[in-house]
Amino acid sequence: MATAAAQERCVFCEIVAGRLPASFVYTDDDVVAFLDIRPLTSGHLLVIPRQHADRLETLDPGPGAQVFTVAQQLAVRLRRSGFCAGTNLFLADGVLAGQEVFHVHLHVIPRTQRDGFGLRARRRGQPDRAKLDATADLIRERLGRPPPDDQLSPHPPAEPPGGGGAPSR
Ligand code: 5GP
Ligand code: ZN
């Protein structure tokens, strides 16, 4: 939880509190969505929790889930209405990931033909299965998860980190 002083300086908290203007498209008890002041495409939205959280690490799971649910609904309804043909969702967590405003926000970027938006990245070849498995081993180790039960299946269905149950600590 951020200090009151840190929250006071947070531009998105100011928007939530109504002390800075924003063009809202959606509000509920946990989440608000408004237009990005420097849009990447027409209709570029930011979905944010009302409660201040600087990064994913400090975001409560309830509001976090609602941020995604609202972004999903906005994306679906924008596409169905013909506003756009598709959507990109994007979230920057941390300076290295490009985060500039330290109040968690999910970008909803409506896509249309020739809108000029694109992601630039270089794929790291196509690692063989042994390399992919070694990376999965490393990640499971870092997450503190046990190796998969080989008895079940050679390729068990993918589970989210935490296996869908209570997260291990
Ligand atoms: P980030 O790089 O942190 O993922 O994105 C921050 C986003 O917040 C940027 O797209 C930027 O244009 C937007 N932004 C920054 N300040 C304001 C503001 O005062 N109002 C609105 N509506 N958007 C803002
Ligand atoms: Zn804030």
pLDDT tens string 97-154: 999 999 999 999 999 999 999 989 999 999 999 999 999 999 999 999 877 775 455 5
Which positions are annotated as active-site residues? 105
Within 6 A (CB) of ligand 1 lie 11, 22, 34-38, 46, 92, 98-101
Residue 39: both structure tokens together: 């849009």
Q: What is the mean pLDDT of residues 21-39?
A: 98
In angstroms, the CA 145 to CA 163 distance is 9
Residue 153: both structure tokens together: 């299946």
Ligand nearest to the CA of 4: 2
Q: Tell me, in angstroms, the distance from the centre of ligand 2 to residue 20's CA.
A: 12
| The predicted structure's pLDDT at residue 4 | 60
**Ligand 1 atom nearest to CA at 40:** 10
Mean pLDDT of the chain: 89
